[in-house]
Amino acid sequence: MLEKTKIVVFVSGGGTNLQAIIDAAKSGLIKSGEIVGVVSSSPTAYAVERAKKEGIPYTVVSLKECSSRAEFEEKILESTEKYGAELIVLAGFMSILSAEFISRYRDRIINVHPSLIPSFCGKGYYGLNVHKAALEYGVKVTGATVHYVNEIPDGGKIIDQKSVRVSPSDTPESLQKKVMQKCEWIILPRACEKISAMIAKSKKGNIAK
């Protein structure tokens, strides 16, 4: 049996995507990976409470309490190394990681974005801003994307996507909820299992017989 891939989840807010990953691990949907740690950029993030409830080790690293972004990332790196991270999942993480950090975990960082990339992505497109833009543009279909993280915001290779129809009555808030429930919470756990399985199989001495 292959050794499970160690997953560390980066969060900043409510942690609904973290919960989706936790639930998927419990149900057996994620069987090739396990959450070994959570890193939050906010001490008040409810995601931290979710980690506590599940007994998952967590670390809070606030940019405001660091003297520089370099110090912020250094402390995050200390946490990922402490947890032995093999896959980093950005689940509503509101800080853009530097090229140096990304290079340390090349093809080992994935992110979920609330649109069908390449639409409504890149700098400034986060949270409700994405859904406001989609409604203003008048799209009939939107969705979510899980992609690898590279040096370009939302610019990494796409791993999975799922779409949902936009209703004439949708508001940014209702669309956000719809995309989360019908897209993000489905494809993020699915991608976690897919990438975890790939990493597990690639580990030295763990070649499947």
- What pLDDT is recorded for position 19? 98
Q: Give residue limits of the domains in the chain.
A: 5-202
- What pLDDT is recorded for position 205? 54
> Phi and psi of 95, rounded to 5°?
-115, 140
CA–CA separation, 145 and 16 (whole Å): 16
Better-predicted residue by pLDDT, 43 or 205: 43
Of 29, 18, 33, nearest to 195 by C-alpha is: 33
Instruction: Name the E strands within the chain.
Output: 5-11, 33-40, 58-60, 87-90, 109-113, 141-148, 158-165
**pLDDT surpasses 90 at 207:** no
Q: Are 16 and 179 in contact (CB under 8 A)?
A: no
- What pLDDT is recorded for position 103? 95
The first and second tokens of residue 90, run together, are 């950005």
Q: Are 43 and 12 in contact (CB under 8 A)?
A: no
**pLDDT surpasses 50 at 209:** no
What number of helices (H) and strands (E) belong to the chain? 7, 7
Q: Are 127 and 13 in contact (CB under 8 A)?
A: no
pTM for this predicted structure: 0.93
Helix, strand or coil, per DSSP, at residue 5: strand
pLDDT digits (tens, 9 = 90+) for 136-175: 999 999 999 999 999 999 999 999 999 999 999 999 999 9
Q: Which residues, at least 6 apart from 97, have a Cβ–Cβ distance to it below 8 Å?
A: 73, 109, 149
Of 26, 86, 24, 15, nearest to 51 by C-alpha is: 15
Q: From 3.90.220.20, 3.40.50.170, 3.30.360.10, 2.60.40.10, which CATH number describes the 5-202 domain?
A: 3.40.50.170
Percent of the chain with pLDDT over 70: 97
Give the active site residues.
113
Q: Which residues, at least 6 apart from 127, have a Cβ–Cβ distance to it below 8 Å?
A: 176
Q: Are 112 and 188 in contact (CB under 8 A)?
A: yes
pLDDT digits (tens, 9 = 90+) for 72-130: 999 999 999 999 999 999 999 998 899 999 999 999 999 999 999 999 999 889 999 99
